[in-house]
Structure 1
Amino acid sequence: MTGHATRGRHVLADFRGVRADRLTDPQALERQLTDAARAAGARVLSAHFHHFGAGAGVTGVVMLSESHISIHSWPEHRYAALDIFMCGAARPELALEHLRAQLAPESVSVTTVARG
């Protein structure tokens, strides 16, 4: 990159082997993502989560002053896709570690992209 410094880090994580019951409760997932944002030093602005019905997954986003954290879950595949984008002093890696501890995936694949 030339001309300016990186504005933030965008962490994309695939959580595989998550217990299905951890991927179907929108209130619990909202609480976990909100807590993860705070653990990373981010300021929560709002959140919106949608459950797709009995046995189905959840899509949710926590809007931050520093950007966002989102999740899309597929309990039938024991899989969740996480998107953590933060700028400033917030540390997305801390949010990722918080969510790893809460959701306890068997495996995690992470891609980090410098943004800006």
Structure 2
Amino acid sequence: MASAPHLPLGIHLLADLSGIAPERLRDCAALERLLREAAIAAGAQVLHGHFHSFGPGQGVTGVLLLAESHISLHTWPEVGFAAVDIFMCGAARPQLALDIIQAALQPAHCQLQSVRRAPPG
């Protein structure tokens, strides 16, 4: 008996966003709100979040644990750069989450990698 083809279990987006105004990359609370808004709009369920500011004028690192996997963000305001990692499975829409993040951060450039996550076969 032939097995059913493996569909991707999820899509993992890795986005390098550059050319961002530094002030958009420093506000820890605003970045957490942005990621939560993006996750919910994408149809994901937020389980827990943890965000950390490295001090006045410095970058932020944060992660949302989702029932569907995770979203993480690391910012370097001194070079106008943010690394965004979005992995969602099921009916959640990671590209929609990324679109919302990009609309808020307004990067000049986005280098995107998209990985289909699934077992071999």
Counterpart-to-counterpart distance in 2, 1:102 and 1:63: 21
1:26-80 CA distance string (max 9 Å, x none): 1000000000001111111111000011211000001110000000000000000
- Match of residue 99 from structure 1: 101
Residue 39 of structure 1 is aligned with which of 14, 38, 41? 41
TM-score (norm 2): 0.92
Question: Superposition RMSD on alpha carbons, in Å?
Answer: 1.1
- Match of residue 30 from structure 1: 32
The count of corresponding residues between Structure 1 and Structure 2 is 115
Counterpart-to-counterpart distance in 1, 2:32 and 2:93: 19
SS in 1 for 2:35: helix
SS in 2 for 1:6: coil
Counterpart-to-counterpart distance in 2, 1:19 and 1:87: 31
CA drift at 1:3: 5.5
**Match runs of 1:50-65 below 5 Å:** 50-65=52-67
Counterpart-to-counterpart distance in 2, 1:68 and 1:43: 10
- Match of residue 9 from structure 2: 7
Which portions of structure 1, spanning 4 or more consecutive aligned residues, are displaced by more than 4 angstroms?
Answer: none
SS in 1 for 2:40: helix
TM-score (norm 1): 0.96
SS in 2 for 1:113: strand
CA drift at 1:4: 2.3
For structure 1, list consecutive stretches of 5 or more residues without a partner in the other structure: none
Counterpart-to-counterpart distance in 1, 2:85 and 2:51: 14
In structure 2, give the amino acid aligned to 1:16: S
